[in-house]
Chains A and B, each alone.
Chain A
């Protein structure tokens, strides 16, 4: 079962612009994580936000969480070509089980 649904499915922007991706989830979560996947590779953990947090920053990343709306957003500021990748949100179910959304494919154009 899919926990998160990302929006948009694909996003193309110019280098230097900000990129915003949204995630909606269905059931209660303890925390929500965002991962990045470069083409044909494994996933890399970006950031985790706990259910009692509303916003979190890490470098050029800003994540928000609205538990009342069951939604999260990932903002990448001042995008770079190297940010081109797919981005997934994932919610924790139970002790350690992650349930992923379908992902947003981000393309940064030079």
Chain B
């Protein structure tokens, strides 16, 4: 059974802290994605990666960075957490192949920054 796991379901951090959100997939997928989900705004893409050590900005990259040192792991980093980064963070992965566009999602991390 395919699986995307995220390091925490719930996380509470203080303003100014550096925050790491980890995502691991066991499907040997080339592509990995980080989204944030906010009420009324749907899912917005923060960063994505097509390959190891490769990253591309999504629609809202400001205040975030990412790291992909291994194929199965994609980390989202909040360099200095702020209250407006309180949100649900969702990681996803997909395979690069003709016609393969389905994304597999992790359970999400609900981050609260106080």
Contacts and interface: CB of A to CB of B under 8 A. Distances in A.
B52 interface: no
Given A42-B90, A92-B101, A97-B58, 20 more contacts: A2-B42, A31-B101, A33-B101, A33-B102, A40-B108, A41-B107, A41-B108, A42-B105, A43-B103, A43-B105, A44-B105, A45-B104, A48-B102, A88-B43, A96-B31, A96-B50, A96-B101, A97-B45, A98-B101, A103-B42
Interface of A: 1-2, 30-31, 33, 35, 40-45, 48, 88, 92, 95-103
A43 B103 CA distance: 9
Interface in B77-114: 88, 90, 92, 94, 96, 101-108, 110
Sort chain B's interface into a size bin: 20 to 34
B41 A102 contact: yes
A42 B106 CA distance: 5
Q: For chain A, what secondary structure do more than half of its interface residues adopt (helix, strand, loop), or is it mixed?
A: strand
